[in-house]
Amino acid sequence: MQDESARRVISVIVVNEASVLSRITDLFSGRGYNITSLTVAPIPESKYSRLTIVTSGSIRVIEQITKQLHKLIPVLKVYEHADLVEKEMALIKFPISENITDIATLCAAYNGKIVNVGDNVFIAMVADEPKRVENLLKIISRYNPKEIVRSGAVALER
């Protein structure tokens, strides 16, 4: 049995045109579906963009979301991913007083490194599976991060 509100990742290929993002987000809010994260960027050398939406719901709800997305005129394709490679990036800002070596080592374990060092703060970057990013964020909480930015997930079918 799958969890009633299991996490799902949906990719949507849309025509790059005005208000296409609103059409998608309006559909989610209008029909009472959740968006956990949403990323969007143009697909190179095409007139399309790719959205990666992380949402949650039962199989039935996800099936409706997929069908409703398909109904939107500028939507080319909708994939509901089962077998996929998924990555998310996070940027984390620390006070300069924190142990930079420890943090750098930790980040390295999560496909990351220190990307900027200033007078008062330094910034680390990680890019990994969303679950692992979450894990890292838990661990580094003891280093008093000042700010954390997550990108939301991007995904590709294997």
Partner 1 sequence: MQISGAQMVIEALIAEGVDTVFGYPGGAIMNVYDEIYKQNSFKHILTRHEQAAVHAAEGYSKASGKVGVAMITSGPGFTNAVTGLADAYMDSIPLVVISGQVPMSLIGTDAFQEIDAVGISRSCTKHNYLVTDATDLARVLKEAFYIASSGRPGPVHVDIPKDVTAQIAEFDYSVELNLETYKPHTKGNPRQIKKAMEAISKAKRPLFYLGGGIINSNAAYDVRELVHATGIPAVETFMARGTLCHDDELLISMLGMHGSYAANMAMSETDLVIGLGARFDDRVTGKLSEFAKNAGVIHVDIDPASISKLVKADFPIVGDVKNVVKEMLESVSLINPSKYESWRDTIKNFDSLHPLTYHEDTDRLKPQWVIQRVGELLGDSANISTDVGQHQMWTAQFYPFSRPRQFISSGGLGTMGFGFPAAMGVKVASPDKVSINFTGDGSILMNCQELMTAVEKKIPVINIILNNNYLGMVRQWQTLFYNKRHSETDLSVQPDFVKLAEAFGGIGYRVHTKEEFDAALKDAVEKNIVTFIEVVIERLENVMPMVPSGGSLFNMMLLERKEKK
Residues that bind partner 1 (CB under 8 A): 14-15, 18-19, 22-23, 26, 30, 60, 63-64, 67-68, 70-71, 73-76
Q: Which residues contact 129 (CB under 8 A, 6 or more apart)?
A: 86, 87, 88
Q: Please work out, in degrees rounded to the nearest 5, the angle formed at the alpha carbon of residue 107 by the alpha carbons of 39 and 88.
A: 15
- 151: closest CA among 77, 65, 75, 41? 41
The minimum distance between CB 78 and partner 1, in angstroms, equals: 11
CB of 27 or CB of 91, closer to partner 1 = 27
CB of 24 or CB of 38, closer to partner 1 = 24
CB of 68 or CB of 151, closer to partner 1 = 68
The minimum distance between CB 53 and partner 1, in angstroms, equals: 17
CB of 2 or CB of 22, closer to partner 1 = 22
Please, are residues 80 and 8 in contact by the beta-carbon 8 Å criterion? Answer: yes
The minimum distance between CB 108 and partner 1, in angstroms, equals: 43
Task: Name the residue with tokens 């294997």.
Answer: 158
The minimum distance between CB 6 and partner 1, in angstroms, equals: 19
Q: What is the dihedral of CA 47, 43, 73, 35, to 10 degrees?
A: -150
